Structure 1
Amino acid sequence: MTPISYSRATSVAEAGRLADGAGARLLGGGTNLVDLMRKGVERPSRLVDVSGLSDAIELARSGSLVIGAAARNSAVAAHPLVRQRYPMLARAILAGASAQIRNMATVGGNLMQRTRCLYFADVAGSRCNKREPGSGCDAVGGFNRYHAVLGTSPACIAAHPSDMCVALAALDARVQVSGPGGDRMIPLVDFHRLPGDRPDRDTVLDPGEVIVAVELPASPFAGRSAYRKVRDRSSYAFALVSVAAGLTMREGRIEEVAIAFGGIAPKPWRASRAEAVLRGGPAAGAAFAAAADAELADAAPLAGNAFKLALTRRTLEAVLSELTGGSL
């Protein structure tokens, strides 16, 4: 048995101070961390409970919506301002897990959750560079149906598991963090790292930094936005492919557009190439196909997940057709 100390932080500063050290982990709802502790993937010597910090969901003077890091996923999905102004976020959260998990999981914890790669979770029998740097990656030559096709490296092909974060990426969310160096705002698209040669580092957080809140700027996409998730079963399954998209139209052309993918990359994947193809162009099937091809041009599929390329194309085309009033 590994001894663990437990502390309940009463402030962000206290949480950062207590968590600034080897073996310390922040504990929100525990829906991911506790599971990894049971499997032996995570072996903290200190747990710092931050579930009592801010769970407020409120408008800032700037018009942005600020969501406290301790807000429960279910509360965010049900909040009138989220449902009215950011419907794709509500849909993404509701697609993400069971009601019981959503009632426990926090926004900060969702941002920090780790991959569900089978080899990452198999402490006894598998090599995993994300769990043990330099040990190798058994997923590359193994069962990789659920793994990434974009943004991978020879060291790691694990896919990011979050649904919520995909919508946040499309909505230009920013993550407010506080730590020994002060406060800073990190664009959600830059918060998670690609694996490179350090797949054990999931985020850009520095030691002692704590997530305080997520800020959502006013969005023009409330009236035309969607979140679609394709999975192996209809409930409580991680995405093979997911698409968060929003757009505005003018005189039959796409004026502005935001797209993010889930299930196909080690982080929520903002589809900037696809957006560039679509922006200012016609709302037509040929344009949708060209956008998908542009985003997937650098994909590196393996034997088990090559089907994700066609699935991503079809899902993106279907979502864009729905949002533009087409019939694909």
Structure 2
Amino acid sequence: MITPYFLQNFWGEKNNGFDVLYHNMKHGQISSKELTEFIRERATIEEVYARSMTKLAKSAGNFSQLGTFAPVWDVIKTSTEKLASCHLELVRKLQELIKDVQKYVDDQAKAHKKTKEEVASTLESVQTIQTTGVALQKSKENYNAKTVEQERLRKEGATQRDVDKAGVKAKKATETYKGFVEKYATAKSEFEQKMAETAQKFQDIEESHIVHMKDIIQSYTQSVDETHVQIGEVRIEFERNMENTSVEGLIQKLSDSKGTGKERPDALEARHSKCKSSEVLLSLKNVTLPSPLKEPNPERGKHLRSAGKTTRTQTRRSRQKLNLLMSPRLMKMASASDRKDRNQMISFLNTPHFNTVKPSNTVFKLFLSFLHLLGL
């Protein structure tokens, strides 16, 4: 139970407490209308902001979709659209709240009209005691004046007729003053009773008004808080999406979507040379050199023995030459595509050991073909 402050603090000499409390009730209705305008203005601001955010999100969607940064624009666009939705949701809640406040304003106006009718008698009591108080004051002043005049005439030794005449006026002033005192007492009693009831009524109205206004503010605050929570969730989601959007992920996404293939260009010349080198080496392997001649018959003559000796020597040297060509080291050099390895092969072929042996015509021709295919 709230202390009856209005009952205790709105009396005073001029009895203006009723007028102050009545206008305070009217100010409550003005406050309700102003609160409605405030919430409506806030809703308008939120709506304009939401539209601006929607426009900004649309602009983000029209930004360049090229480059590794392009996927980030989708994250920014989605987050901005969600922020716009949060503010639009707040606009919807505020518009619903405005309807409730407007309904309260209408109900408040009806309640004030009813209260005005109920306290009309109190207003009459106020006016009565105010007018009676003024009349009582004048009557008191007249009574004092007539009484003083009568006493003055007596002291100055005026004629009895003048003294009696002054006495009649003083008596009449006394009766009038007494009547106003009684009338004021009645008006005062009625005023105090009705003013006490009215003051409590005004306080009850103000208590109900403040409670209702606080409920409206609470609804307003709750709507704003819910929007802030939603905005916070959007912010957290945006931060999480940006954390998940790693540099490696963006590079990989561009590679997957714009990649032109994983196969590198073929080393055609190297494979071609290697292939032909192998063919030449196989040809060299398959060369059938003349077998050594048998020991000539002594009866066939000395020149035949000399010719046989020369043929065997050439055959042996040709086989030595071919063995060198078919050695693992030379095979590796011949199949290499690197120019450096080819140069090593040339250096090997120019060694004194290799050059001391003169190949036969067949081996020499094959070897020259081999070098030609290698580009040496």
Place the TM-score, normalised by the shorter chain, in its bin: under 0.3
Relative to its length, the structure with more strand (as a share) is 1
More helix by share: 2
* TM-score, normalization by structure 1: 0.19
Give TM-score, length-normalised by structure 2.
Answer: 0.17
Flag the structure with larger Rg: 2
